[in-house]
Amino acid sequence: MFDTIVIATDGSESVQRAVGVALDLAERFDADVHALFVVDEREVESSPESVREELRAALEDDGEDAVASVATRAESAVTTAVRSGRPAATISDYAREVGADVVATGTRGRHGENRYLIGGVAERVVRRCPVPVLTVRQLEGEGTTDAESEPETPA
């Protein structure tokens, strides 16, 4: 059923549950796993010109760490890739390129809850990806500080 699974990761705590679910799925179906990190070129291009190359290098290093983290968690070999571009388009193109059967991603990324129910990148991947997309939300309290996970009470 699933021969090739792409795990789109940004290295954030909120994607760790998605990584675990995708790796479990890969193990059950003996599927090939690809871990993909996308350096958001819009983020780089919107930064001051004097720091763009430094920012790009830092983001590429973050990407290498993120995909290495997926590979470390896996029980079998993982193909890793760090690409540059618009994240949703690049994820979709990569899935097509490797013949993926499914793309797994978290619902919130490095930029937090910029969208109410599903992160902007995850939503765009769902809308444009040519293969099914498995979105895995972070459970309440996972990857949050105590202040973030506790409800506010009026004084």
Domain residue extents for the chain: 4-140
Whole-angstrom distance, CA of residue 39 vs CA of residue 34: 16
Which stretches in the chain have pLDDT values below 70? Answer: 108-119, 139-155
Residues near 96 by Cβ (< 8 Å), separated by ≥ 6?
130, 131
In this prediction the pTM is 0.83
- Whole-number pLDDT of residue 112: 45
* pLDDT per position as a tens digit, 108-144: 654 444 434 346 888 999 999 999 999 998 766 655 4
Class at the top of the CATH hierarchy for domain 4-140:
alpha beta
